[in-house]
């Protein structure tokens, strides 16, 4: 019988062209038993017992392990060469907001990279705190606002949305607006800074373009095995946005919240780990390579991700395809790198591909590091019920519905920011459905 099951499994792998490491498990009882790498013991075996030992010894070790085995090292420094404020409107969105459109210009090795920022700030707040996040379809896609410039430099062709020859057209204006609750954000006294991720690195398995190509050594055509994939490149881009925010007198860069969804949620976590200037970090449905524990092998697995999106992580990561247990890190360590700053992890109950439980457990297992700083993370190994957010220095919710960013998610992110920036304790209403 066992033999027969084995033959059927092998045949189905061959027929579907999937590799064993791609195979998805959605059965909690089949999650393998696993042992997470030690968070609070240094590589030399020293127990880490204080926040200063964490900051000085263990944190840098873990950061290097993630660089070498997962996301890849950023190979050098490339600062903003110049920037241009292309447009400012002090009566945008029905006179509620100030809108600015700014282009950051990077020049190196005879090449130039233009990164376009769209900024909305509430008119009634002096030096507003801001949410900072990449969008998927171009700045003009986040709102119907007709004055947002169409600036995307590379997009996957999509005639239904008017993306032709890799350039967006008017037809995609506003297509992503459901994901960006700009009204809620502004009403709550926050600004929004958004940019198209393809400006920094087009999302395709090609390293001749994007920021990578500006940073090559002589003769180099692709990153080395321990050098940056696209997620690291996108994280680099967020830090350069932060460099700009620090120069903008209308923005309080000390209260910048980095937020991202899905692949960009993975990016937000890595950016928040690398750059401690981000005061709060938010991961929305980030899943595998984001908040979800790799060793649970539930939903998407690293082997599958490395196969279908080979450019996201560094090539060294391929060694762990189908062998998550030998990874020197797991994703609770990524969350811990954000300590003692507040971090919020959001899941959706139908987004099993992203392994909601694995996303929760990362926060739970990162909690001992927050405790070294006298801060509370996630204290129960049990996930909270559906639509019942938990908000300490680590926040978490699992909501009704599937993969995406909705008003419900933004309500919690704003509450979480209010709690930490304005010391306003959240009042949770009973939520019957979304
Ligand atoms: C795919 C991928 C995920 C990713 C998602 C997204 O589903 O497998 O890892 O999070 O795309 O970014 O939309």
140 is catalytic: no
Which helix (H) or strand (E) is 128 found in, with range?
strand 128-135
Of 183, 125, 134, nearest to 414 by C-alpha is: 183
- Lowest-confidence segment of 74-78, 169-173, 221-225, 299-303 by average pLDDT: 169-173
**Ligand 1 in contact with 300 (CB < 6 A)?**
yes
Strands 251-261 and 128-135: parallel
Which residue, among 397, 392, 386, has the nearest Cα to 367 in the 3D structure? 392
pLDDT of amino acid 404: 98
Ligand 1: does its nearest atom lie under 6 Å from the Cβ of 405?
A: no
At which residue do the structure tokens 């070294």 appear? 372
Q: What is the pLDDT of residues 401-416, one digit of tens each?
A: 999 999 999 999 999 9
Asked if pLDDT for residue 323 goes beyond 50, the answer is yes
Q: Which of the 8 DSSP states describes residue 368?
A: H
Is 230 annotated in the active site? no
Max CA-CA distance within the chain? 72
Comparison of pLDDT for 430 and 248, the residue scoring more: 248
The residue-averaged pLDDT of 157-183 equals 88
Bridge-based pairing of strands 343-348 and 394-399 is: parallel
The span from the CA of 95 to the CA of 222, in Å, is 47
Q: What is the pLDDT of residues 125-166, one digit of tens each?
A: 999 999 999 999 999 999 999 999 999 777 778 877 778 888
Beta strands in 217-303 (DSSP E): 251-261, 280-284
Report the residue among 287, 299, 404 best suited for mutation to probe ligand 1: largest number of ligand atoms under 8 A from its CB: 287
Beta bridge partners of 291: none
Instruction: Tell me if the bond preceding 341 is cis, omega within 30° of 0.
Output: no
Does residue 8 have a pLDDT over 70? no
| Percentages (nearest 5) of helix, strand, coil residues in the chain | 35, 20, 45
Indicate if ligand 1 lies below 6 Å from the C-beta of 179: no
| 2-6, 57-61, 177-181, 255-259: least confidently modelled range | 2-6
Q: Report how far apart the first and last C-alpha atoms of the chain are (Å, whole number).
A: 46
**Per the structure block, which two tokens stand in for 336?**
């811990």
CA angle 293, 298, 304 (to 5 degrees): 90
Please say whether the beta carbons of 330 and 295 come within 8 A: yes
């Amino acid at each position: 019988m066992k033999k027969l099951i084995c033959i059927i499994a092998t045949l189905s792998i061959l027929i579907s062209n999937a590799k064993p490491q791609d195979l998805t498990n959605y059965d909690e009882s089949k999650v393998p038993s696993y042992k997470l790498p030690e968070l609070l013991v240094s590589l030399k075996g020293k127990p880490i017992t204080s926040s200063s030992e964490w900051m000085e010894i263990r944190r840098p070790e873990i950061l290097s392990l993630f660089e070498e085995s997962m996301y890849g090292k950023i190979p050098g420094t490339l600062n903003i060469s110049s920037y241009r404020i292309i447009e400012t409107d002090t009566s945008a969105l029905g006179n509620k907001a100030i809108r600015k459109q700014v282009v950051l210009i990077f020049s190196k090795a005879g090449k130039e990279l233009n990164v376009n920022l769209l900024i909305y700030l509430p008119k009634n707040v002096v030096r507003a705190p801001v949410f900072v996040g990449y969008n998927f379809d171009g700045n003009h896609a986040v709102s119907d606002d007709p004055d947002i410039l169409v600036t995307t430099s590379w997009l996957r062709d999509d005639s239904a949305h008017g993306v032709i020859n890799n350039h967006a057209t008017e037809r995609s204006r506003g297509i992503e607006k459901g994901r960006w609750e700009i009204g809620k954000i502004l009403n709550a006294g926050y600004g929004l800074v958004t940019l198209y991720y393809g400006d920094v690195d087009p999302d395709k398995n090609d390293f001749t373009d994007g920021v990578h190509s500006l940073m090559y050594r002589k003769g180099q055509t692709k990153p080395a095995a321990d050098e940056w994939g696209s997620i690291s490149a996108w994280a680099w881009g967020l830090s350069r946005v932060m460099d700009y925010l620090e120069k903008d007198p209308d923005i309080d860069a000390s209260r910048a919240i980095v937020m991202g969804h899905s692949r960009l949620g993975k990016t937000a976590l890595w950016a928040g780990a690398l750059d401690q200037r981000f005061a709060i970090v938010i991961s929305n449905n980030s899943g595998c390579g984001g908040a979800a524990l790799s060793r649970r092998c539930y939903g998407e697995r690293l082997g599958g991700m490395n196969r279908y999106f080979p450019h996201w992580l560094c090539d060294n990561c391929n060694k762990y395809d189908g062998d998550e247990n030998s990874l020197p890190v797991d994703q609770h360590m990524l969350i811990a790198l954000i300590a003692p700053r507040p971090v919020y992890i959001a899941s959706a109950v139908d987004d099993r591909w992203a392994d909601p439980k694995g996303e929760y457990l990362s926060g739970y297992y990162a909690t001992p590091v927050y405790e070294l700083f006298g801060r509370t993370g996630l204290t129960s190994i049990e996930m909270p019920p559906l639509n019942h957010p938990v908000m300490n220095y680590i926040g978490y919710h699992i909501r009704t519905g599937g993969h995406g960013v909705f008003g419900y998610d933004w309500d919690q992110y704003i509450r979480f920011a209010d709690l930490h920036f304005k010391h306003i304790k959240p009042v949770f209403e009973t939520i019957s459905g979304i």
